Homo-oligomer: A and B are copies of this chain.
Amino acid sequence: MSERLRLYSYWRSSAAYRVRIGLNLKGLSYETVPVHLVRDGGEQHTPQFRAANPQGLVPVLVHGSRTFRQSMAILEYLDETWPSPPLLPGVARERARVRALAQAVACEIHPLNNLRVLQHLENALGLDADARSQWVRHWIGEGFAAIEAMLAEHPSTGRFCEGDTPSLADCCLIPQVYNARRFKLDMAPYPTIERIEAECLALPAFDAARPENQPDAA
């Protein structure tokens, strides 16, 4: 398992941010290959990058000669390949809760707000910057209300989303909070999410993964 790890990443991509956290939590060193999602129409659309990922999306993780796509699938692969420290709990029902929280971000919030959707809202539907920001805040707000309830209701919420160690759920949640702040969502209605964010960002693994700490940060 000593094959080289390379991460196709963009500093502000919240899906790439998830994987950076996971790599850091596992203590794995990796090379960042920056993919500029905006400059020159977006490097994710070049034939070279499409060969690595026909979806035209970051992140992509290359491990030795193998290519991995989709951030949650990559995080599960990291967890299976380097099991310690674990990103998922040991019990099936708890794993299901962690995955459901991760998917509450990755299947319900982020897909509505990523770059290609905002570009489509602008170019195909003619929405201006204000209307696009309102769209983003609408979906993050709705999603966070549900996640706040899922965290607040449950006895196994601890310092982190599940218990007292960071998991796949935290890897997904914290980058989404970054996006929420970028689009100026009022976080006051989500105190549990804010508390967990503070816990996470105090850890070096999360701090080093922040957008502003990336080599390609603007």
Contact = CB atoms under 8 A, between A and B. Distances in A.
Interface of A: 54-57, 66, 68-70, 72-74, 76-77, 80-81, 92-93, 95-97, 99-100, 102-104, 106-108, 110-112, 117, 120, 124-125, 127, 138, 143, 145-146, 149-150, 153
- Tell me if A's interface is mostly helix, strand, loop or mixed: helix
A107 B104 contact: no
A146 B96 contact: no
Contacts of A97: 73
A95 B138 CA distance: 34
Contacts of A95: 76-77, 80
B66 A93 contact: yes
Number of copies of this protein chain within its complex: 2
Nearest to A116: B142
A99 B73 contact: yes
B150 A103 contact: no
Contact of A55 (B55, B106, B146): B146
For A70, A72, A74, A150, which residue has the most chain B Cβ atoms within 10 angstroms?
A: A70
A132 B215 CA distance: 40
A73 B96 contact: yes
A-B CB proximity, top 3 nearest: A54-B149, A73-B99, A111-B111
A55 B38 CA distance: 32
B55 A77 contact: no
Contact of A145 (B54, B68, B96, B146): B54
